[in-house]
Every structure is written in C-alpha cells, then in structure tokens.
C-alpha cells in the first residue's frame, strides 16, 4: 500500500468519526433525501441557497464510513460555491471516480475529493461516494 493511500484512509476515517456540518437546517431552501439500497446508506441534505450561492449546507442520516465521509467532505466543498460551480465539481469528480482504475486522473481540480479515487477498485462503493452528490443535484433540481 502506498503511503498516500494510508493518508487518504485517515482523512476518510476522520470525517466519518467527526462529520462536518452534521445536523439539520430548519430554514433550508432546498432539501432532498438520498438512499443507496445496495449498502443501506441514507442521507438527508439541507441547503440554504441565496442569489445562486450555497450559503449553508448540512446533512444527517446513517450510512457506511465512505458515504458519511463523502457527505461531510462535500458539505465543506459546497459552502460558498455557486450552483454552477458545484455542478461542475461533481461533473469532474463523477468522471474521475467512474473511470478505469489504471487511467491517469488529472487531480488538479478535484482537491479534497482525490481521497476517494481509491474507491474505483470497488465499483459497489462508488455508489456510496456519489450518493451525497446525487442527493445534492436532486435537491437543487427539485426545488428550483
Ligand atoms: Zn455505503
């Protein structure tokens, strides 16, 4: 195992133990529920969007370490982004994480999301990683 894999595991475990932005927003402008029956992951996502900017975001629910840490990291990324920026980040991330394991990925614009690229070896787990993001897209498109 490469040392970077260990580092990434540590980041994922940290976000699982201490999820950021965990909770609910009673004054949310956008809300959605996501469910991954393959793993049992369940997420509720709350957003406050003002003038096309995500000013606050929280999530709650239960899930495996991968889905929970993915949701946690996602919330830290979404805050302060415009809807368009957020969608572009997910586009790049989705392309990267669904690509072949031996494909060289340009990690430049992935930022913190790079920690999940190891999951490409486990296709079932890819759904755990992308669930929070699909829930985000759902929330935005349902309520806009
Ligand atoms: Zn899962």
What is the distance in A from the centroid of ligand 1 to the CA of 51? 33
Mean pLDDT of 62-77: 97
Decide if pLDDT at 86 tops 70: yes
pLDDT band at 6; cut points 50, 70, 90? confident
- pLDDT given for residue 7 in this prediction: 77
pLDDT band at 142; cut points 50, 70, 90? confident
What is the distance in A from the centroid of ligand 1 to the CA of 143? 26
What is the distance in A from the centroid of ligand 1 to the CA of 50? 31
CATH value of 3-142 in 3.30.465.10, 3.40.50.800, 3.30.70.580, 3.90.1010.10: 3.90.1010.10
Domain range list for the chain: 3-142
Asked whether 132 and 71 are in contact (CB, 8 A), the reply is yes
Token pair for 10: 């540590």
What is the distance in A from the centroid of ligand 1 to the CA of 52? 30
pLDDT band at 2; cut points 50, 70, 90? low
Mean residue pLDDT across the chain: 93
Q: In what order do the strands lie in the sheet with 41-50?
A: 30-36, 41-50, 53-62
The pTM is what? 0.93
- pLDDT given for residue 1 in this prediction: 52
């Amino acid at each position: 195992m490469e040392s970077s894999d260990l580092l990434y595991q540590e980041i994922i475990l940290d976000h699982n133990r201490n999820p950021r932005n965990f909770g609910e927003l009673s004054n949310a402008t956008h809300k959605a529920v996501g469910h991954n029956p393959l793993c049992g992951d369940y997420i509720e996502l709350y957003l406050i969007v003002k003038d096309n900017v995500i000013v606050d975001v929280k999530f709650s629910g239960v899930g495996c370490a991968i889905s929970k840490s993915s949701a946690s990291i996602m919330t830290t990324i979404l805050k302060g982004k415009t809807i368009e920026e957020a969608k572009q980040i997910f586009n790049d991330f989705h392309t990267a994480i669904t690509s072949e394991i031996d494909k060289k990925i340009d990690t430049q614009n992935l930022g913190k999301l790079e920690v999940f690229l190891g999951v490409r070896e486990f296709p079932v787990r890819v759904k755990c990683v992308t669930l929070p993001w699909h829930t985000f897209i759902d929330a935005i498109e349902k309520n806009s």
